[in-house]
Amino acid sequence: MINVVLVYPEIPNNTGNIVRTCAATGAHLHIIEPCGFSWEDKYLKRSGLDYWDLADVKRYENMQSFLKANFNEFADTEDNVALAVKNTKLNSKAQFFFASTKSAHNFTEVNYDEECWVFFGRETKGLDEELLHENYEDCVRIPMRAEARSLNLANSVALFIYEYHRQHGFEGLKEKGRLTKY
């Protein structure tokens, strides 16, 4: 399954919407703190609606605790976060992607493994440039007009999740609906 990794999200509505998208698609959501909001925030809860029980959401106090929790035997927990992520990726052979407007690669041009990890940065700055630099071959972007800075984080996450599911035949997702009144 696709694993969405939010690194230092700042806007509660975006995170709530991402929770809802993950719940509806079965994607796993990993949130690396600190966040720019309280977990008691009414906008966070309202955006996620009643999907919180369907969502697989895990929170981590920092990147090192995320790596240790998910890649225990391969986790590199050195202080340099960019190198720790790169080394963990290489040692575990896990498929990591880093969503960034600074990438030269289109997100639809890569093949997503059955289990993959896609990292998204905070709304105001994206992922740290050092992390992007150390993992540049795995950075991917969503095409958009040159004049636009970026897309909304929740929309970007949804595009990645659905591209993953398209590549995997929408397995486990209900593809057809029906009218209920007629």
Q: For the domain that residue 87 is a member of, what is the CATH number?
A: 3.40.1280.10
Is position 93 within any domain? yes
| 4: DSSP letter | E
Is position 49 within any domain? yes
Is position 180 within any domain? no
Q: How far apart are CA 23 and CA 25, in angstroms?
A: 6
What pLDDT, in 10s, does the model give residues 28-45? Answer: 999 999 988 777 756 566
What pLDDT, in 10s, does the model give residues 49-105? Answer: 577 788 999 999 999 999 999 999 888 777 899 999 999 999 999 999 999 999 999
Is position 175 within any domain? no
Tally of domains in the chain: 1
Is position 16 within any domain? yes
What pLDDT, in 10s, does the model give residues 153-169? Answer: 999 999 999 999 999 99
Residue 50 structural domain: 2-167
Is position 177 within any domain? no
Is position 10 within any domain? yes
User: In sequence order, what E strands does the chain have?
Assistant: 2-7, 28-32, 56-60, 95-99, 116-120, 139-140
Its pTM stands at 0.93
Is position 179 within any domain? no
